Amino acid sequence: MLHSTVERERFVPALAHSWLTPLYDLAVALPTRERVFKREMVNQIEAAVAELGEPRILDVACGSGTLALRLKARLPSAHVVGLDGDSAILRSARSKARRRQAEIHWVHGLSHSLPFPDHSFDAVVSSLFFHHLSPAGKRQAATEMSRVVRPGGTLLLADFDRPRNVWMNAAFLLAQMIDGFTNTADHRAGRIPGMLSDVGWKQIEIRRDWNTWLGTLTLLAARKDSPLVDRRTLHGCGGDLADTAREPETMGDTPR
């Protein structure tokens, strides 16, 4: 299927070319140690939202929905939203969710302008995404994520970082040849934590790193400051996500 002009301009397909998208799940599993790092992301989100009855979790650039599905399986009472700029990969996410009878809200949208009101989520996650964005795109996405998460909420980012040894250096060179040198330069230089700090995220820490076939992958955690605001008040004001997502950009399943 042909993508619209807007889509072509604003998002990079998961494997760089749209015709490769159906192979995404196969292509990513081993080289990125997907099972291992996504299991850890789910563990950490579970711990972060442990006090909340029905946490709201957003997966930005969710791709074929693997992480969103894992989150929903571990946290059945959570409202899980998966957003991606590619309608083709979202269709695949949606059919996986149907097969597993998982109730996830899929939203077609772009990271630089997330179609949600301020403070809509308790946690925002994203994996294998930032290295596709230009330096300006990374800042915009991190700023938008901060806007849509509630004060005190959590960000978890899994992506490539400064190679930890000579083997990882060589491996990341391969990733850069595939994904481009401009967008991956900040990752090689270890500049992602500083960029998160620049746009206002607090308590930024690298929680884990893994050696993968494509370089050093790290799990970065950050928190949105402002302990004085009560989550229940915010949710009371914000209403249900389904009512507030901007309609023209959504293609979600019927939300609860």
Ligand X SMILES: C[S@@+](CC[C@H](N)C(=O)[O-])C[C@H]1O[C@@H](n2cnc3c(N)ncnc32)[C@H](O)[C@@H]1O
Burial class of residue 3, CB neighbours in 10 A (0-12, 13-18, 19+): middle
Candidates 78, 102, 128, 156: give the one binding ligand X (CB under 6 A): 128
Of residues 87-116, those binding ligand X (CB under 6 A): 89, 110-111
Taking the C-alpha atoms of residue 211 and residue 206, their distance in angstroms, rounded to an integer, is 14
Q: How far is the CB of 53 from ligand X (least distance, A)?
A: 26
| Nearest CB to ligand X, comparing residues 209 and 225 | 209
Residue 127 binds to ligand X (criterion: CB under 6 A): yes
Q: For ligand X, which stretch binds (CB under 6 A), given 57-65, 69-77, 147-155, 211-219? A: 57-65
Q: For ligand X, which stretch binds (CB under 6 A), given 40-48, 84-92, 96-104, 210-218? A: 84-92
DSSP 51-97: T-SS-EEEEET-TTSHHHHHHHHH-TTSEEEEEES-HHHHHHHHHHH
Q: What is the DSSP secondary structure assignment for residue 221, as one 8-state letter?
A: E
By Cβ distance, which residue is nearest to ligand X? 63
| Nearest CB to ligand X, comparing residues 86 and 234 | 86
Residue with tokens 């990079």: 12
Return the closest-CA partner of residue 217 out of 145, 168, 154: 168
Q: Mask: binding to ligand X, 9-48, rule CB under 6 A, as x and -?
A: -xxxxx-------------x--------------------
Burial class of residue 237, CB neighbours in 10 A (0-12, 13-18, 19+): exposed
Interface size with ligand X, residues (CB under 6 A): 21
For ligand X, the binding residues (CB under 6 A) are: 10-14, 28, 61-63, 66-67, 84-86, 89, 110-111, 127-129, 132
